[in-house]
Every structure is written in structure tokens, then in C-alpha cells.
Structure 1
Amino acid sequence: MLIFALLLATLFLAYSNGANDNFKGVATLFGSQTTSYKVAIWLATLATFAGSLASIFLAETLLKNFSGKGLVPDAIADSTEFHLAVALGAGLTVIIATLTGFPISTTHGLTGALVGAGLVAIGTQVNFEKLGSSFFLPLLISPLVAIALGAVLYGLLRFLRVRLGIQKEWCICAGETQQFIPIPQPDATNILQCIKTTDVAVDSTEKCTQRYIGKFGKITNQQLVDAFHFLSAGIVSFARGLNDTPKIVSIILIVKALSIQGAMLAVGIAIALGGILNARKVAETMSKKITAMNHGQGLIANVVTGSLVIAASGYGLPVSTTHVSVGSIFGVGLISQKANAKVFYQILLSWLLTLPIAATISAIVYWLLSR
């Protein structure tokens, strides 16, 4: 019975992960108006699923890190109760954040859940040294590195763009608007007459699209930027699937009848479903609220995110795609002077609350199961 509950809880965690995380790789595509929400979420879904399948061969270290071994004694780390508590603690934390529109880290939620269940199981004998070096340090440093790289890379490439003479242009949107004008009558009444007037607007965020002019060979600069933007979004989503899937699969490795390949496939499908069905609120936060961005700024943020997450996966470091993605977008926004510091601080607060909330839920679940 507990084994079946563990399988369901793990798939619930995977679904929650997809709902909160899938869109982060393509947020800049939607935020810069490069493509629609529908196209962006399907690109994210397919690329993330491909990353989930690739993790079968490329992410063994992360499987070991999130099994709980090394943090608590093997006897506890191999127990169904411990893994069920971790899955529920992380899953409930992530789905709550998703429903409220906050992009939090599943990695952070899993780390908090491991700590919470571990503290109930063995008290302060939890291996905090391993916890600090293998979990907290990468989670703390990665967003700072992403902010710095996003700011520096955008500043450098903007400088190069100006030196190379690549200019930007704004479209002018013209149309008609209707207005109702009251016309006084002799009997002290008014008649409303509808008139049409021409409306012309130059607007970068709502009515108009900023584009790069000029050509590189036979391809326009705008087409080149958009092509690399789509490619980078696919890479970020692929990297997210590669980095997150093994963390979730590690929870159900104790089920002997389930192969690693089968577990990866099931978790990958659940992640994909979560993104398709429940990503809209987090998508709005990531795409529109952290900073306004154009095509080039979105591309640079994605390049930084994809590079850092792929590098971390290769070294077995459990960085958060959320932290890296938000950090790179905010770093670009700082240089363009469009960053919304208030929204960024709210997201930081949600990150700070993730660990204690996940730890509390996991601790309660493990306490109930062990008794």
C-alpha cells in the first residue's frame, strides 16, 4: 500500500514540477513577443521531455544525491516512509507556489523535504556538512552567478551591436478608435453621436514590436536573433528536463520492481502534463513581471540559463533552473533599466519560504507514517 502511495506521490511531485518549471525555459520567447503562449508551452514540453529521456544516460550523480543517502543512515534512506514524506513535502510546496503564481525551485523544495524528514528520523545527526556542500552552496551561488553573467553578457553584446552598426527600429501602429460625443439639443437633452478618429501609437510593450534591422548574408538580423532565441529556449528546456528528472526519480528507486528507464519515462510524462495543464500563472510572472524585454535581451537571458544548467548537470550540482532563469532575466533587466525590483524581491521571499515549508510538511508526514 505504501509503495503505491509513494508512486502516486512521486508522480504528483513530477506534475507539480512541470506546472511550476516547464515554462521557465521559454518565458523570454513569450515575454519578448517572439511567439505565442501556445507555441512556447509546446516547445517547452517537447524539449523538456527530451531532456528527461536523456537523463537516463547522463545524470547518475543527481540520482545518488537526492536518494537521501549520506544525509541520513541507509536504513532510513531506504525506507518507503522517508521517501513518501519527501515526495509529499516537496510536491505540496511546489503546487501551492504554482497556484499562486510564484516560480520556486523544486530542487529547493526537495532539499527542504529531505531535511524535514531527516530531522524527525534522527534529529541533529543529519549530515549537515554534506547538505551544505552538495545542496545549499550550489543553490545559493547559482542565482548570483546568473545575475552577474546576464548583466555582463547583455552589456557586452549591446556594446558590440552598436559598434557593428546593427540598429533597432520601432513599428508605428495606426488604427481607428470610436468615441461618443454628446450633441446638445434645444429641449436640454443630449444625443450621443459616434465618431471615428485615427489613433497612432509608438509602444514597445503592448502595441508595437521592436525589431533589428539589417542583414547577415541573405538572412535578416531579426530572423537570425529569433532563430537563436528559439534554439536557446529549446536548450534551456532540455537542460531543465536533464537536471530535474533524476532528482524526482531518485525518490522511487527503492521500488525494486521499477526500472530506472521506466521511472524516467513515467516522471517525464507527468512533468510534461503539468506544464501543459497548469503553467499559465507562473508563465505570466516569468514573462511579464520581472522585466520587460525585447528579442535580443530574451536570447541573452536564455543563453546564460542554458549554459549554467547544462554545466551543473554535468558536474552533478543540484542547481535550480528557477534560480538561474530568474537571475539571468533580472540581470539583463538591470542593465536595460527595466527590472521590476519589487517583483524580484517577492520571488526571493518565496524562495526563502520554500525550504521551511517543505521541511515542515515532510516532517509532519514522516512523523505520522512512522507512528
Structure 2
Amino acid sequence: MPKSAIDKDLERVGELASGTDAIARAMAAPGIALVFIFATLIWAAFSVQAGPFGYLVVVATALAAYMALNIGANDIANNMGPAVGARALSMGMALALAAICEAAGAFFAGGDVVETISRDIIATGTHLETVPYVMVMIAALLASALWVNLATYIRAPVSTTHSVIGGIVGAGIAAAGFSAVVWPTILAIGTGWMVSPAVGGLFAALFLAVVQYSVLEATDRVRAARLWVPVFVSAMAGIFTAYMALKGLDRVWAPPLPMVVFVSLGLALLAWVLARPWIEARTLGMEDSKKQIGSLFRLPLIIAAALLSFAHGANDVSNAVGPLAAIVEAVSADPASTNPVPQWVLAIGALGIAFGLALFGPRLVRTVGEGITRLNEIRGYCVVLATATTVLIAAALGIPISSTHVAVGAIFGVGFFRERMTNGSLYRPVVSPEGVFLRTSHLNPTPEAAVANYHKRRRRLLVRRRHVASIFAAWIITVPATATLAAVIYAAMRLVFRL
């Protein structure tokens, strides 16, 4: 029966309503973000007392809020991506947990970041008047925020730390020449960029291999899990205790290294004692399957992801509020003072990270957790443990690295290890020249099964190659891109202010 004119009109109205709803949903997140930035702008305009340069502080406050939103949208994926990809947490639960931990770390453990920015990147002998110095920091904030915003849009997890550093380098060169930059610091950052993803990947592959051979390939997986999973939990407790002492809480609690070692070993032993009865109870009547064994790693993975988020908030809040804190100090009545960062500055960073995560985080969380390789609880556990281990070693050695690079490198590590395990000699049937089968396992119980398994699996690619090229390209151009953009912004500001 042909449709009447009124039926066609009603269909068009329905389509228009659906399209309007879709547009409204798409615009809701940017709208809320703009409201947050505008609110910080208004608050700073009426609350910040900075003398004749107050207008610069107000502008910097809005830019810091914008950068904090971008950090929440991009960087947090590295901490919660493995837990979401492993199905240990739903997207909503992961966003809520990360927002709480990130904001808590930023507000309660974030500390004085002015000294790091001025000492480690801008050369000591460089002299800039107040306005040019403030403009350098504003240009760095705007350039890094725009770059991270673009990276988030194209689903590329980049280092916000490197973005801010690149912005300060570019604006500093534009303001005072190449001598204004501490180039050994930039060289160390470049070296860390090249080494840290590979180290994170190697650690993740090593941890996965240990779990694979000690538990998953055991004849009795449940019995092996009762023996080894408490050991893995103990190792995680020790590593994360040291990680939090050296990275997450270093601004509020900085014990000497012997104390860190003692406390880490003590908590590792305590975790082993507590984990044994817990694992024993969980494995009673448990089915001898990889999926059931993997469920034992769910809680450790969630705890590890939460601790990573707290430490990330404590450290990387400086990427948003560091330049703002430097501006506040520069325009203060006593620039030589060493007052800690004002709490309102940390609050803007904490709230901005939480809002950015809630509004825009799912995009990158899915890319990190699901777009590179398939994760489960065990692989996700290996990723977060490898990330903490690599960052901990780098902190002990004084090497600046990006946790973003380490986490993504760890995901690639478990993916490529799985490929090797699936396609390589671990599944290849071993036969003599006479064709006699020489090795069997529970994976290949018969010669026929081994041959069939090998031919079935040998061509499987378990890592999406297209993400390798795009992510590494984004990493490579982050510092030069933000440096160039910041230099252009600084030059434009000089023309406007006629300096």
C-alpha cells in the first residue's frame, strides 16, 4: 500500500528529530567543556590578585583549564585502557574511578612544579622580563593544548609532557634564541622517547611469558595459580609501593632509598600473606580454564590501574598548571619566593583532568584498550605492571620518560609476544628427519593436532599494524610540532603587544 503524503511528512519529521538529538549529544561535551573554561575565566577575573599583569594570569588560567581538559581526554587512556580492554571494568566504572584517582592525585599530591619548568628547560642565564616570560608560558600552554586536542581527535595517544616541553622550547627560542634552552634536557627526553617504549614492551612480554609458562601451560592450572598468583600479587605490591614513593607521592613523602626498599619489601610480603587465602578461596571448585584463571587477575589489575591514575594525576597535573604556576610566581609581589603552588591552581588542574576524562576520555580509552591488540585480565595486568616497573627504574636512574610511551609500548609488547607464541616455534610441531613427532603438550596433544594448530595459526596477526605507524608518527612530531606552533603564537603575541 503506497504511503500517503502525511506518512512521508511524519517520517521526515522523525528523521529530523533523530538528527537533532544526535547533534545535541555531539555538542553536549564541547559545550560543557566551554562552560568549565568560561567559569575558570570568570573566577580568575574576580579572584586573582596579580597587580598590573592580572589580565595575563586570567588568560593563562583559562588556557590551563583547556590544557587540563585535554590531558584528561588523552593521557588517562594509558592507565584505564588495559582495564577496559580486558573487560575488568566497564567504560563508566573506569571513567569514574580514573576521575576520582586523577583528581585526588592532582590536588593532594601535586606540588611545586615551577622550579622544574624554569630550571630544567629554560637556561639559568636566560633573562626575560616579566611580560615576555609570561607570554612564553602562555604560548607554550596554548600550543600544547591545541596539539593534544588534535591528537585526541585523531585517536593518537601522545605525551602531554612532551607537548608542554616542546611548547616551552619553541616559545623560549622565539623569545631569547637557541641559547635559552637547556639542550641536554631535551636530548635526555629524546633518548627516553626512543628507549622507554621498547623497555616497557620487553617487560610486558617478559611478565606475560612468566605467567604463561608458570600457570597457563601447567598441567593443573588451578594448582599452579594457587602457588604463583600470590607471588605475582606480591611483586605488584612491592613494585607499586616503590613506584608511589618515588613518583606518585614524592612531593608529599620523599623517604630515602633504603626506606623505600624496606617498605616495598614489607608490603610485598604482607600482600603475599593476604593473597594466599584469598586465592585459595577463589579457586575452590574453579574450572581448569584460562578464562577462570584470568579472573584471578581482575582485582589486581583494577588496583594497579587506580594507583597509576593517582600517580599520573600527581605528576602530570604539572603539564596543565606548571606554566600557570610559573606565571603566577613571575607576576607576584615577591618573584624570588619559593611558595608552593596555590591550591586554586591545583584545583583547576584536578577538575579539568576529571572533566576531560569524563567528557572525551572514551575515545582514546577504546583505542588503547581495544584498538592495538586484544587484551584480557592477564595481559592487562602485565601491561600496567610493566608500565610501573619501567617508570620506576627510569625515576631511580634520573631518566625523564613518558608514561604514555611506556604504556603503549607495553601493549605492543604483549601483542607481539602473543604473535610470536602463536605463530612461532612455541606452536611449531617438532619432528625428526624421519617424520617422527618429538614433542607434545596440552596445546598440541597429538602430532595431528600440532600440525593442524600450526597451519591454522601461523599467519595470524594479533597487532593492528596501522596503529603502529600512526602512533609512532605522532610521537616523533610532538616536540617539533608544539615547538613550531608555540614559536608562531609567541611571535603573533609580540606583534599584538608591540614588544
Number of the residue aligned with 1:93: 147
Number of the residue aligned with 2:172: 118
Task: Tell me the distance in 1 between the aligned counterparts of 2:366 and 2:405.
Answer: 17
Indicate the structure with greater helix content. Answer: 2
Matched, 1:217 2:341: no
Task: Tell me the distance in 2 between the aligned counterparts of 1:142 and 1:350.
Answer: 16
Please list every run of 5 or more consecutive structure 2 residues that lacks an aligned counterpart in the other structure: 1-54, 223-277, 284-292, 333-339, 420-461
Matched, 1:166 2:221: yes
Give, in angstroms, the shift of residue 340 of structure 1: 2.0
Number of the residue aligned with 1:56: 110
Matched, 1:152 2:203: no
Partners of 1:151 and 1:335 within 8 A in 2? yes
Q: Tell me, what secondary structure is at the counterpart of 1:218?
A: helix
Number of the residue aligned with 2:127: 75
- In the superposition, relative to structure 1, how do residues 131 and 289 fare at CA in structure 2: closer, same or farther (>3 Å)? same
Q: Using CA pairs below 8 Å that are at least 6 residues apart, which structure has the higher relative contact order?
A: 1
Partners of 2:80 and 2:305 within 8 A in 1? yes
Give, in angstroms, the shift of residue 308 of structure 1: 3.1
Task: Tell me the distance in 2 between the aligned counterparts of 1:54 and 1:315.
Answer: 26
Number of the residue aligned with 1:227: 299
Please list every run of 5 or more consecutive structure 1 residues that lacks an aligned counterpart in the other structure: 168-214
Aligned with 2:117 (options 50, 54, 66): 66
Q: Tell me, what secondary structure is at the counterpart of 2:65?
A: helix
Partners of 2:121 and 2:169 within 8 A in 1? no
Question: Deviation per CA, 1:161-215, whole angstroms, max 9, x where unpaired?
Answer: 1347327xxxxxxxxxxxxxxxxxxxxxxxxxxxxxxxxxxxxxxxxxxxxxxx9
Give, in angstroms, the shift of residue 70 of structure 1: 4.9
Partners of 2:120 and 2:182 within 8 A in 1? no
One-letter identity of the residue aligned with 1:64: E
- In the superposition, relative to structure 1, how do residues 110 and 298 fare at CA in structure 2: closer, same or farther (>3 Å)? same
Q: Tell me, what secondary structure is at the counterpart of 2:167?
A: helix
One-letter identity of the residue aligned with 1:122: A
Task: Tell me the distance in 2 between the aligned counterparts of 1:261 and 1:16.
Answer: 21
Percent identity between the two aligned chains? 26
Question: Deviation per CA, 1:208-250, whole angstroms, max 9, x where unpaired?
Answer: xxxxxxx931123444311101111112211211221123322
Task: Tell me the distance in 1 between the aligned counterparts of 2:87 and 2:347.
Answer: 32
Indicate the structure with greater strand content. Answer: 1
After TM superposition, the score normalised by the length of structure 1 is: 0.79
1:284-295 maps to which residues of 2 (within 5 A)?
Answer: 284-295=366-377
- Superposition RMSD in Å: 2.5
Q: Tell me, what secondary structure is at the counterpart of 2:185?
A: helix
Number of the residue aligned with 2:328: 255
Partners of 2:121 and 2:168 within 8 A in 1? no
Task: Tell me the distance in 1 between the aligned counterparts of 2:466 and 2:165.
Answer: 26
Number of the residue aligned with 1:308: 390
Partners of 1:240 and 1:309 within 8 A in 2? no
Q: Tell me, what secondary structure is at the counterpart of 1:85?
A: helix
Give, in angstroms, the shift of residue 316 of structure 1: 6.4
Partners of 2:126 and 2:180 within 8 A in 1? no
Question: Deviation per CA, 1:45-99, whole angstroms, max 9, x where unpaired?
Answer: 1111222134335xx5x54332366524553396210100000010000001111
Question: Deviation per CA, 1:320-370, whole angstroms, max 9, x where unpaired?
Answer: 221111011110111112222321221101111222221121011111122
One-letter identity of the residue aligned with 1:280: P
Number of the residue aligned with 2:72: 18
Task: Tell me the distance in 2 between the aligned counterparts of 1:318 and 1:247.
Answer: 14
Matched, 1:46 2:100: yes
Alignment length (residue pairs): 322
Q: Which moved more, 1:257-266 or 1:106-115?
A: 257-266
- In the superposition, relative to structure 1, how do residues 265 and 312 fare at CA in structure 2: closer, same or farther (>3 Å)? farther
Number of the residue aligned with 1:368: 492
Partners of 2:391 and 2:403 within 8 A in 1? yes
One-letter identity of the residue aligned with 1:217: E
Partners of 2:197 and 2:409 within 8 A in 1? yes
- In the superposition, relative to structure 1, how do residues 308 and 164 fare at CA in structure 2: closer, same or farther (>3 Å)? farther
Matched, 1:2 2:56: yes
- In the superposition, relative to structure 1, how do residues 164 and 270 fare at CA in structure 2: closer, same or farther (>3 Å)? farther
- In the superposition, relative to structure 1, how do residues 69 and 229 fare at CA in structure 2: closer, same or farther (>3 Å)? closer
Aligned with 1:354 (options 475, 478, 497): 478
One-letter identity of the residue aligned with 1:291: T
One-letter identity of the residue aligned with 2:71: N
Number of the residue aligned with 2:288: none
Task: Tell me the distance in 1 between the aligned counterparts of 2:349 and 2:397.
Answer: 22
After TM superposition, the score normalised by the length of structure 2 is: 0.60
Larger Rg: 2
